[in-house]
Amino acid sequence: MLVRDGVLVEVGPSRRVENLAEARTAVEINAAGRVVMPGLVDSHTHLAFPPAGVNEQDEQALVRALRAATGQRLELRCRAFLDAMARHGTTTVEMKTGCGFDESGEAKLMRIVAALRNDPVNVIPSYLFRLSRTADAAALHQATEWTVSAMLPKIRRRLGTAFADLVWNSNPDHLPFFERYLGAARDLGYASRIHAEGPDPAAAIALAIRQRAAGIDHLEHATEFHARQVADAGILVTLLPGVSFHNDRQSPPARTLIDSGAAIALGTNFNPHHTPMLSMQTIIALACWRLRMTLEEAISASTINGAHALGCADRTGSLELGKSADLLILNTSDYRDLSNSIGTNVVHVTMKGGRFIYKEGDVSPRPPQIVTPNS
């Protein structure tokens, strides 16, 4: 591969690329004996909200904690998460805002996202809309109208957010508000995604089809009929094997979806409360072990399909001409080691846009006086 200004300008056999005139003055990176592959794409995370250490079921407490924390502290916390992801090979990350109906809290999250957009990895924001299960119809109407008339336009102007996400629930009284939100988001230029983790996702899938959603996430209970519906509609499904691993739930029906022709992406669902998992390498291994995906399917779901899920497959997700040089060099000569290396980081180098953002270093011994007991 030949990289110029962070972009792949030639990909092919070593003999041909090395004989190009431009290659003669290039800096050579020797990856002999190592796998080179696209950078990993984590297409579903909750990096900034909810904050850690607060009961996730207490919506008001979560917002109070967000208000109380300084923007600098929240940014440093998110940056530490992103650094850890980069060390494990992730080069593109989805990051959800959406803290309920609190404008000052949402403004704080927007500032954090803006500060983190490309340092060290590419952060793609989504706005997550959820309705209270206990609010009355008047309150739900007010919250929905505030979101579509004030919040969505403001986020669109400030962040250019690509996705309007929705936490679906089975309450039929909420359906008109979901329809209103998704329709307004589409009119504003958002692509939409729907969380559909309930045991009966039929209504959520029907909503996604009606509203021409780009994706459905958390689809953990799909039947063959549901899988065919999703495949026929061309809706990409993002599965999150870390959720069932941490919570001992039923594993998502990846095999049913894939065999029905549905496109699958994978994400960590990183959430400090119930899915504190940062490594897409681990997600690939879990997809092979628990979701019965082949390793090749899991890698595709964590690279090019993840990029499609985030609307950036024209720029990243594969090592093709004209795409960003987002790539990994692994400490192995066989990519199949990814399915057997759970808990082990096999990344030697992470490159983002032609720039090294992580390189494996030596473990340095400490001076004897530091490790001497009682010193």
The answer to whether residue 359 scores a pLDDT higher than 50 is yes
Please report the pLDDT score of residue 9 as a whole number: 95
Summarize pLDDT for 99-154 with one digit per residue, the tens.
878 788 888 888 999 999 878 899 999 999 999 888 899 999 999 999 999 999 99
Round to whole Å and give the CA distance between 369 and 371: 6
- What's the CA gap between 356 and 359, in Å, rounded? 7
Is the pLDDT reported for residue 77 higher than 80? yes
pLDDT, tens digit, 9 for 90 and up, residues 225-262: 999 999 999 999 999 998 877 776 778 999 999 999 99
Which fold does the domain 38-309 belong to in CATH? TIM Barrel (3.20.20)
| Per-residue confidence (pLDDT) for residue 369, from 0 to 100 | 65
Give the residue-averaged pLDDT of 72-101.
Answer: 92
* Residue 249 confidence (pLDDT): 73
Long-range pairs of 78-85 with CB within 8 A, sequence gap ≥ 24: 78/47, 78/48, 78/112, 78/116, 79/116, 79/119, 81/47, 81/270, 81/278, 82/47, 82/116, 82/119, 82/120, 82/121, 82/123, 83/120, 84/278, 84/279, 85/42, 85/121, 85/278, 85/279, 85/280
Average pLDDT over residues 207-225: 94
Per-residue model confidence (pLDDT) at position 375: 45
- Portion of the chain with pLDDT greater than 90, in percent: 68
Q: Which percentage of the chain shows pLDDT scores above 70?
A: 95
* Mean model confidence pLDDT for the chain: 90
The pLDDT tens digits of the residues spanning 270-323 come to: 988 778 899 999 999 999 999 999 999 999 999 999 999 999 999 999 999 999
Q: What is the SS3 assignment for 280-338? A: HHHHHHHHHHHCCCCHHHHHHHCCHHHHHHCCCCCCCCCCCCCCECCEEEECCCCHHHH
pTM: 0.93
What mean pLDDT comes out for the span 335-363?
91
Q: What confidence tens digit (pLDDT) does each residue in 195-207 have? A: 998 888 999 999 9
Domain chopping of the chain, boundaries: 38-309
Strand partners, 356: 351
**20 — pLDDT class (breaks 50, 70, 90):** very high
pLDDT of the residue at 64: 83
